[in-house]
Amino acid sequence: MFSLALDSIQPLLILTKLFGFSFFTLDEDTFEVKFAKVDVLCVLFNLVIEGIIHINYWGAYFYLPNTSEIVNIVLPSVAYLNCCVLLFSKVWLFCNRHKIKVFLRLLCGIDSDFENLNFKFDYKKQRHFVIKLMVLVIFIWTVLSLSTLIFHSYYHYMEVKTYNCFILFMWAFFLNMVLISQFLVFIFAIRDRFIAINHMIRSQGAKQKLIVQLAEIRIKLFKTCTLINEVFSPTMIYPLAMNVCLVCLFIFNTFVSFKDIWRNEILFIASASCLKLHQTVSIVCLMWVCEATLKEDQKILYNLFENLVKTQECEKSQKQILQFTHQISNMKIKFSCGLFEFNWRLCFQMISAVAMYFFILIQLENAIPKNV
């Protein structure tokens, strides 16, 4: 019955690997995001691991000699190696910061198209905020971890699996705060750009030239938001957080396995999976809040556009405004401010990702012998 349930979601897992685990390359000239070729290798590697997993189940089902014993040795190491490969792919994308410099230049106003606009973005102010936030997070994370270690060492009150859950939670909290701080930098940067644009609209006298410049800025801001989504979207953050948790769990389990203290249990696996699901829901809620904030800024800009149209006597300016709004409405903006609008494709990706990790964790649990 269990194997039938696994086979029933197998197509879902393959689709998840094809669409959910992809990371991207960026064409800096056209702002187009494309799939990287190495993603195909990740898909093939996952399929090989699933083949090994099914050999384990079929071998145990038919009582083939030594099949389960061999796979019990190979499977955990191969599975966690897979997690390391996926983790490396995500970290590789985050470390390629030169791609992000493309829209940092736009946000900071140093692009060639913005030389005459004299925008000033105080990046040091945002950087200091992020540094303070990171120091606070590291301090809280260190104090709680050390206090738990001391409490567990002296009083032996906390079970090993409970302590493991707590450490895993603290690591996930630390990782989420790092990602959230990166979100805040870009969010504040975009908001500052909107404030500068609004100020420029109110203060400038030559409004006809301003309309053309403003339209170009708005289009680039939309492209910037789309690009931020490709780097910091849930389909990127979720696998990264999951793989980090799996690697940390592997390191801890390897350490305690040598001492014969503890083995994986279904209760812990369920707790860890629920924790990871909670992480994803928290990130999703954060994104909804930010998207609503950005939409308010967009409403302000559109109101300013309407006022400009009313004050302009030249029909050419009105046509430019209409052409610009039509161009914006035709752009397929799936996300804004690195955030998303809820749609069926996103719902499918999130459900598939959750199902896949439950699937992997349950299989790892069943692959480890209980009598060792």
Which two tokens mark 306?
A: 């309407």
Distance, CA of 72 to CA of 327 (rounded, Å)? 57
Q: Name the stretches of the chain with pLDDT < 70.
A: 1-372
Identify the bridge partners of residue 35 per DSSP, sorted by sequence position: 24
Q: How far is C-alpha 329 from the chain's CA centre? A: 27
Which two tokens mark 12?
A: 């879902």
pLDDT at position 219, please?
Answer: 57
User: At CA 72, angle to CA 67 and CA 75, rounded to 5?
Assistant: 105
pLDDT at position 192, please?
Answer: 57
pLDDT at position 261, please?
Answer: 45
pLDDT at position 147, please?
Answer: 59
pLDDT at position 333, please?
Answer: 38
Burial code (b: 16+ CB inside 10 Å, e: under 16) for 7-17 equals: eeeeeebbebb
Contact 243, 279 (CB under 8 A): no
pLDDT at position 341, please?
Answer: 40
- Residue-wise pLDDT tens digits, 66-81: 444 444 444 444 444 4
Distance, CA of 107 to CA of 251 (rounded, Å)? 40
Q: How far is CA 272 from CA 124, 319, 367, in A?
A: 38, 57, 18
Which two tokens mark 301?
A: 């800009």
pLDDT at position 171, please?
Answer: 53
pLDDT at position 11, please?
Answer: 35
- Residue-wise pLDDT tens digits, 122-169: 445 555 555 555 566 556 555 655 555 555 555 444 454 455 555 555
> For the chain, what is the mean pLDDT?
49
